[in-house]
C-alpha cells in the first residue's frame, strides 16, 4: 500500500521539502497528497506547489475562535483521507479531537521532554546544555508531547549561535524524520 501523507507546515518548509523529495523516490511507501498551513503564503506552501502537490491554508484569523479553527482544520484534513499527518514545522498545538482522529507524527529540534515549544534551540542555548538534538514522536494534545519514536543527539559547540546549532540539528533531523516516516508507512 502507498500511504497517503498529508504534511502540515508553518514556516520555511525545508522539512516539508525533505518529505516531498523522499516520497518522490520509488519504493518509499508513501506519497504526499496535500500540504496545509496555518500561515497563508508561507514559503512551505510554495515548495509544495512547485512539487505539484495541492495546498490549503486554515488561518486562525479567519475563524471566530480557536474551536472554530480546530474544526475547520480537522475538516480540511479529513477531506484528503490521510493515512498519516506529518507535522513538519507546524507551530500550533492541535485539538485533542484532531490528534485522536488522525495518525500524526511530529519532529522537534530538542531532546524531548527538554525544551518543548517554539524556541527549542534558543532555550537549549540559554540553559547552557552541552548536548541537545532532535525528537520524532507521535502527537497527542500536549505541546511537543506524545510517545517518542526516535531521537538523535547533537553536541552544542563553543561559540554556537541559534543559527549554527539549528543548521546542525536540521542536518540530523531530516534523515531521522524521513526514516521514521518510511517505517510508519511500511507498517500500514
Please tell me whether residue 144 binds ligand GAR under the rule CB under 6 A.
Answer: yes
Which one of the spans 6-14, 24-32, 57-65, 92-100 is the region binding ligand GAR (CB under 6 A)? 6-14
Size of the site for ligand GAR (CB under 6 A): 18
Which one of the spans 10-18, 45-53, 75-83, 179-187 is the region binding ligand GAR (CB under 6 A)? 10-18
Q: Copy the grid coordinates of residue 17.
A: 521539502
Please tell me whether residue 11 binds ligand GAR under the rule CB under 6 A.
Answer: yes
Among 4, 13, 74, 160, binds ligand GAR (CB under 6 A): 13
- Sketch the per residue contact string, 36 through 55, with ligand GAR: x for CB under 6 A, - otherwise: --------x-----------
Q: So which residues are the catalytic ones?
A: 108
- Sketch the per residue contact string, 102 through 141, with ligand GAR: x for CB under 6 A, - otherwise: -----xxx--------x-x---------------------
Q: Copy the grid coordinates of residue 116.
A: 518543548
What residues make contact with ligand GAR under the rule CB under 6 A?
Answer: 9, 11-16, 44, 88-89, 107-109, 118, 120, 144, 170, 173
Amino acid at each position: 500500500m502507498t500511504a497517503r501523507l498529508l504534511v502540515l507546515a508553518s514556516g520555511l518548509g525545508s522539512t516539508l521539502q525533505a518529505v516531498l523529495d523522499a516520497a518522490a523516490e520509488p519504493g518509499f511507501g508513501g506519497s504526499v497528497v496535500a500540504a496545509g498551513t496555518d500561515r497563508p503564503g508561507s514559503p512551505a506552501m510554495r515548495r509544495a506547489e512547485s512539487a505539484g502537490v495541492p495546498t490549503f491554508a486554515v488561518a486562525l484569523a479567519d475563524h471566530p475562535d480557536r474551536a472554530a479553527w480546530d474544526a475547520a482544520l480537522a475538516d480540511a484534513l479529513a477531506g484528503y483521507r490521510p493515512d498519516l499527518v506529518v507535522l513538519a514545522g507546524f507551530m500550533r498545538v492541535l485539538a485533542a479531537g484532531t490528534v485522536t482522529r488522525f495518525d500524526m507524527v511530529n519532529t522537534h529540534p530538542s531532546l524531548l521532554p527538554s525544551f518543548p515549544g517554539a524556541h527549542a534551540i534558543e532555550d537549549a542555548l540559554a540553559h547552557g546544555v552541552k548536548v541537545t538534538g532532535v525528537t520524532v514522536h507521535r502527537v497527542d494534545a500536549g505541546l511537543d508531547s506524545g510517545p517518542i519514536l526516535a531521537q538523535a543527539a547533537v553536541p552544542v559547540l563553543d561559540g554556537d549561535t541559534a543559527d549554527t546549532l539549528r543548521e546542525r540539528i536540521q542536518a540530523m533531523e531530516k534523515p531521522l524524520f524521513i526514516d521514521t516516516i518510511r517505517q510508519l508507512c511500511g507498517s500500514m
